[in-house]
């Protein structure tokens, strides 16, 4: 993906630039797919088509199509000045995306239940300007509801991490 924090000329990143960068990344992806499939054996072997036969052509399709998009984006670069995302919008998007990434990181260590309760509470306090007691209660209630729905009713275990807050219940 593009680095969304890079400074833009006017107020925000231009759509054509993002278009070009995304097309370039996809082109790279297509090349990797094609080369790796070629290495695996994209040709006819003794007992039929090799493992890379199908993905190789898929890789080629990706390369040609994304190259087409890239060329078109570079051509219209001067004339097309549409803005991909302006600064306030980008800020709002990152306000959701960054906490979401931190949340997933937290889940990795302290498990889904505790991390979810904390994440919802913090999100409400920091972005929603709610008071601490209310936020903590909402977070805890949501986690408890999920606990009953998944572990108790549908018998689907969730990731508990190091804290294992429900260990004493036998789950």
Partner 1 sequence: MGEIQSLMQGFAVVLSPMNVLLMFVGIILGVLIGVLPGLGGANGVAILLPLTFTMPPTSAIIMLSCIYWGALFGGAITSILFNIPGEPWSVATTFDGYPMAQNGQAGAALTAAFTSSFIGAFVAVVMITFLAPLVAKFALKFGSPEFFAVYLLTFCSFVGMGKGSPLKILVAMALGFALAAVGMDTVTGQLRLTFGSTELMRGFDFLIAVIGLFGIGEILLSMEEGLEFKGKRARIDPKVVLQTWKLLPKYWVTSVRSSLVGIWMGITPGGATPASFMSYGLAKKMSKDGDKFGTGQIEGVIAPETAAHAAGTSALLPMLALGIPGSPTAAVLLGGLLIWGLQPGPLLFVEQKDFVWGLIASMYLGNLVGLIVVLTTVPLFASILRIPFSIVAPVIIVICAIGAYTVHGAMLDVWFMLGFGIIGYVFKKLDYPLAPLVLALVLGDKAEDAFRQSMLASQGDLMILWSNPLVGSITTLALLMLFWPLIARLIAKVRAPKADEFAAQRPVD
Which residues here bind partner 1, judged by CB under 8 A?
1-2, 15, 18-19, 22, 26, 29-30, 33, 36-37, 40, 44, 48-55, 58-59, 61-62, 65-66, 68-69, 72, 84-85, 88-90, 92-93, 95-97, 99-101, 103-104, 107-108, 112, 116, 119-120, 123-124, 127-128, 130, 138, 142, 146, 150, 154-159
In the complex, the smallest distance separating the C-beta of residue 10 from partner 1, rounded to whole angstroms, is 18
Distance (Å, whole) CA 15 – CA 110: 39
Comparison of 130 and 171: residue with beta carbon closer to partner 1: 130
Tell me, rounded to whole angstroms, the distance of Cα 52 from its chain centroid: 28
Comparison of 10 and 86: residue with beta carbon closer to partner 1: 86
DSSP secondary structure code for residue 152 in this structure: I
CA distances from 117 to 34, 81, 134, 157, 168 (A): 44, 43, 12, 17, 19
**Crossing angle for the helix pair 112-126 and 87-110, to the nearest 10 degrees:** 150
Comparison of 10 and 91: residue with beta carbon closer to partner 1: 91
In the complex, the smallest distance separating the C-beta of residue 9 from partner 1, rounded to whole angstroms, is 19
Comparison of 10 and 149: residue with beta carbon closer to partner 1: 149
- Could you tell me which of 42, 62, 150, 13 has the C-alpha nearest to residue 4? 13
Phi, psi of 161 (to 5 degrees): 65, -160
In the complex, the smallest distance separating the C-beta of residue 68 from partner 1, rounded to whole angstroms, is 5
Comparison of 74 and 138: residue with beta carbon closer to partner 1: 138
In the complex, the smallest distance separating the C-beta of residue 48 from partner 1, rounded to whole angstroms, is 5
The CA angle 116-120-121, to the nearest 5 degrees, is 115
In the complex, the smallest distance separating the C-beta of residue 122 from partner 1, rounded to whole angstroms, is 8
Distance (Å, whole) CA 113 – CA 1: 30
């Amino acid at each position: 993906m593009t680095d969304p924090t890079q400074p833009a000329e006017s107020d925000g990143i231009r759509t054509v630039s993002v278009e070009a960068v995304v097309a370039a990344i996809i082109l790279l992806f297509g090349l990797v797919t094609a080369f790796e499939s070629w290495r695996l054996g994209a040709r006819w072997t003794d007992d039929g088509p090799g493992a890379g036969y199908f993905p190789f052509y898929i890789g080629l399709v990706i390369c040609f199509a994304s190259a087409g998009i890239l060329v078109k984006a570079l051509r219209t670069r001067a004339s097309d000045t549409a803005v991909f995302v302006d600064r306030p919008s980008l800020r709002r998007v990152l306000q959701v995306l960054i906490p979401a990434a931190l949340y997933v990181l937290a889940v990795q260590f302290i498990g889904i239940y505790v991390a979810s309760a904390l994440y919802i509470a913090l999100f409400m306090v920091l972005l929603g300007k709610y008071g601490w007691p209310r936020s903590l209660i909402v977070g805890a209630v949501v986690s408890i509801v999920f606990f009953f729905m998944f572990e108790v009713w549908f018998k689907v275990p969730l990731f508990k991490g190091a804290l294992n807050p429900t260990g004493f219940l036998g789950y």
